[in-house]
Structure 1
Amino acid sequence: MIHYILIVFGVAALGGLILAASVLRDKLAPWVLSVVHALLGATGLVLLVIMLVQGSAPRQVLVGFVLLLLAALGGFLLASFHLKKKLPPKFLVFLHAAVAVAGFFTLLSLVL
């Protein structure tokens, strides 16, 4: 299942790069892409919860889940700026991305 989880988060990350590029160019990101990015992230988190509930997941799964959950909370904060039609501070975009990348690479370490 970890391979599917990595694919879901990988596709979400590609969307995240486009979203971040918009904000870094001082433009609001496309709303539809923001929603797809969030849905993919939520799907990945649900798959991680399923993996954790099954009980035999390595510790990296829990660490990756916590990091990605924190990234998701940061994503909600970024979305709140988007709803107000304001650009978020760039450091929040970088922080969100850094935490998400750390979570992704933590999970990726399971297959490398």
Structure 2
Amino acid sequence: MDSQTMLKVAVVLFALTGAGGLLLAGIRFSSKRQPPASLAMLHGMLAGSGMTLVIYAGIAAGMPNGAWAGLILLGIAAVGGVVLNLAYHWRNKELPAPLILIHAPVAVIGLVLLTVSVWK
């Protein structure tokens, strides 16, 4: 598989991750209860798969600077997701709204940068 195809697959994986994230946030904000752990794990695994593809494509064949910037932002969002999962969700504590409201736009901006760079 060539690097361009890997990057496009990664964008699709991140888009699916974002849809799952919207569902997770919707559950959290509408019902004030924890989203299902299985959905949170799927969200993280899709994001991890996309990150792996982007990193591999970037190292193996190189990619535009905008894609690297998107990857960095997605990495920052991933750290926020890990904090949400391990510090709150895993311990059955209520997910903090401010952290969710930071995690989401950072991930969206990263995905937009990556998508624009890939489909340039």
TM-score category, normalised to shorter length: over 0.9
Name the counterpart of 2:27.
22
Cα drift, residue 60 of structure 1: 1.1
Higher alpha-carbon deviation: 49-58 or 94-103: 49-58
Q: Summarize deviations over 1:67-112 as a string: whole Å, max 9, x none.
A: 0000000001110200111112111101000110010000111215
Q: Give the alignment's TM-score, normalised by structure 1.
A: 0.95
Partner SS, residue 109 of structure 1: helix
Q: Summarize deviations over 1:52-79 as a string: whole Å, max 9, x none.
A: 1024310011101100000000001110
Name the counterpart of 2:3.
none
Whole-angstrom CA distance in 2 between matches of 1:81 and 1:20: 14
Identity %: 29
Structure 1 residue runs without a partner (length 5+) = none
Q: How many residues align?
A: 112
Whole-angstrom CA distance in 2 between matches of 1:56 and 1:73: 24
One of 9, 13, 26 as aligned partner of 2:18: 13
Whole-angstrom CA distance in 1 between matches of 2:77 and 2:62: 24
RMSD (Å) for aligned C-alpha atoms: 1.1
Partner SS, residue 16 of structure 2: helix
Partner SS, residue 29 of structure 1: coil
User: Structure 2 matches for 1:59-78, cutoff 5 A?
Assistant: 59-78=65-84
Is 1:92 paired with 2:105? no
Matching residue's letter, 1:66: I
